[in-house]
Amino acid sequence: MKILAYDNFKPGVTLDDLRPYLRDEVSNVWRLWKAGIVRENYARADVGGVIIVFELDGVEEARRYTDDFPLSKAGLLEWHFIAFDAPLPLEFLFDPTVDIAKPWDRTAA
């Protein structure tokens, strides 16, 4: 399952408040990316903050990771989560003669 997580700075938080934590924050997310836990990471275009797409079993697991981020531990962020998955059972829209059986990946080696 994918979990979209986005943060907001708590009221009154400034860039000067964030600066001491940024190096550790970025390296932490990079390690999670390399581990396959973070799939995508974006800067928000509308306001300050980030959007992270996790590949996890649920929101509580994503919350465990975001709670461990240096900026979260410092009490500077609040997080919001949206869980989403593939739009199944999309296959019910197919004609019964369409082959959708496993194996799904039939790419030639």
Domain ranges of the chain: 2-86
Whole-angstrom distance, CA of residue 22 vs CA of residue 20:
6
Count CB neighbours of 14 within 10 A: 10
CATH number assigned to the domain covering 2-86: 3.30.70.1060
Q: How far apart are CA 98 and CA 68, in angstroms?
A: 46
Alpha helices in the chain (DSSP H): 15-18, 22-34, 59-67, 70-73
pLDDT at 17 over 80: yes
**pLDDT tens for each residue of 48-101:** 899 999 999 999 999 999 999 999 999 999 999 999 987 767 777 778 888 878
The rounded mean pLDDT for the chain is 93
How much is the pLDDT for 52?
Answer: 98
